Amino acid sequence: MFDKLKQINQLRQLQNQIKQQRVEVEKNGIRLVMTGEFEVVEISLNPELDAKTQEKLLMQLLNEARTKIQTILAKNFAGQLF
């Protein structure tokens, strides 16, 4: 029973760590900040670029941020298991 409680506590700690994670990516003056829960909390656009270019870059940044967060989460989760 105590093992289950210990596991629940570890999962709560991991969940809190995930919430605190933030990733910032930038390319050509466009900046994106995403949390460990994959929530976009900030986007800065570059008014010198046309809309199509900004859309393309923003899509790339979203994918890059998602990949970075997944990597961080995988490392944190692996660290909790071992």
Q: From the first residue on, what is the mean pLDDT of each consecutive set of 10 residues in the chain (82 residues)? A: 78 80 95 94 96 97 95 78 56
Residue 53 pLDDT: 97
Answer yes or no: is 68 within a domain.
yes
Answer yes or no: is 52 within a domain.
yes
Give me the number of domains the chain comprises. 1
Answer yes or no: is 33 within a domain.
no
Q: What is the value of pTM for the model shown?
A: 0.78
Domain housing 69: 46-77
* Sheet containing strand 40-44, strands side by side: 22-27, 30-35, 40-44
Residue 42 pLDDT: 96
Return the CA Rg of the chain: 17
CB–CB of 69/21 below 8 Å? Answer: yes
Give the integer Cα–Cα distance in Å for 51 and 43: 14
Residue 78 pLDDT: 74
Residue 81 pLDDT: 58
- One-letter identity of residue 28: N
